Amino acid sequence: MSTLQEIKPVPVALGGARGGPRARTLRPGGWGTEKWVTFSVLTAFVVYSTWAAFQNGNFYVGAGQHRDLISPFYSPCLTQTCTQGGGGGLTLHWWTLSPALLILIVPGGFRLTCYYYRKAYYRSFWQSPPACAVADGHDRYTGETRFPLVLQNLHRYFWYLALIFNVILTVDAVVSFRLPGDGGIGASVGSLVLTANAVLLWMYSLSCHYCRHACGGHVDQFSKHPVRHRLWTLVTPLNARHMQLAWASLIMVALADGYVRLVASGVFTDPKIF
């Protein structure tokens, strides 16, 4: 192992090398575990969500099973192919592929540009750097100053769009407590799954670093902005849990799609609670 004296400070400069000679680190072993766990879970999610997005079927459970459940990957209904799930007013007749391919642009872009996920996939996929205090896996470091990474600056706009999707998925969760056909009210495991999904997506969005900035950024004196200070104090504890909420909401949205998909395809019946 290298000693502290052998490690010379290496300046970080755009366009230059970062972190000195490769694989040089004073960190003891074990720091690579998190990287591989991140790599595995993100890869599994991307594979599953891509597969689900191309299915273009089994995304809605309707009156046939006396339930009103729609997969979050296919909501809002945008195309003619998903009118069975409602949303006819938004139908895009010219789109003939799976509607999820359109819908997932917003949540996908939101997560792809998320500050936490950037750290996660820069480390686990791109090795830049593999971990704190570990030399970069590449000879040159260009930061996020040019295409395509300069597009990461779109994150704040994706945040606003993601809030719209959160409202839509919250409506889906509320509607799942309505029993199609007789207009009654009821709950099932599926309605709880969609509710948990909506709650986690709100918590993830409200814990966003941009959200915290939007609430309390560019304020010199909180005493002159009590409302913004209040909002900032509300989202700051969530912001401290942003990584956990990012993972929980990611896994939950895949589980919600999987649950609706299994019920819609007849693998099992959505258990009724009342």
The smaller minimum CB distance to ligand FES, of residues 159 and 247, is found at: 159
Task: Please report how close the Cβ of residue 3 comes to ligand FES at its closest, in angstroms.
Answer: 37
H helices of the chain, where? Answer: 32-55, 100-103, 105-112, 115-124, 155-175, 189-206, 209-216, 226-239, 242-264
Q: Could you give the CA distance from residue 101 to residue 200 in angstroms, rounded to a whole number?
A: 22
| 97 vs 167, beta carbon nearer ligand FES | 167
* Burial class (CB within 10 angstroms; exposed 0-12, middle 13-18, buried 19+) of 110: buried
Q: CB 155 → ligand FES: shortest distance, Å?
A: 6
Instruction: Measure the CA–CA gap between 202 and 21, rounded to whole angstroms.
Output: 43
In the complex, the smallest distance separating the C-beta of residue 106 from ligand FES, rounded to whole angstroms, is 12
Nearer to ligand FES, 123 or 242 (CB): 242
Give least dist CB 165 to ligand FES, A. Answer: 13
Q: Which residue's CB is nearer to ligand FES, number 155 or number 261? A: 155
Distance CA 112, CA 142 (A): 19
User: C-alpha angle with apex 147: 204 to 139, nearest 5 degrees?
Assistant: 95
Select from 111, 87, 82 the least CA-distant residue to 99. Answer: 82
Task: For the CB of residue 243, give the shortest distance to ligand FES in the complex, in Å.
Answer: 9
Q: Is 239 or 269 the residue whose CB approaches ligand FES more closely?
A: 239
Question: Which position has the token pair 């029993």?
Answer: 179
Chain residues that interact with ligand FES, rule: CB under 6 A: 114-116, 155, 159, 208-210, 242
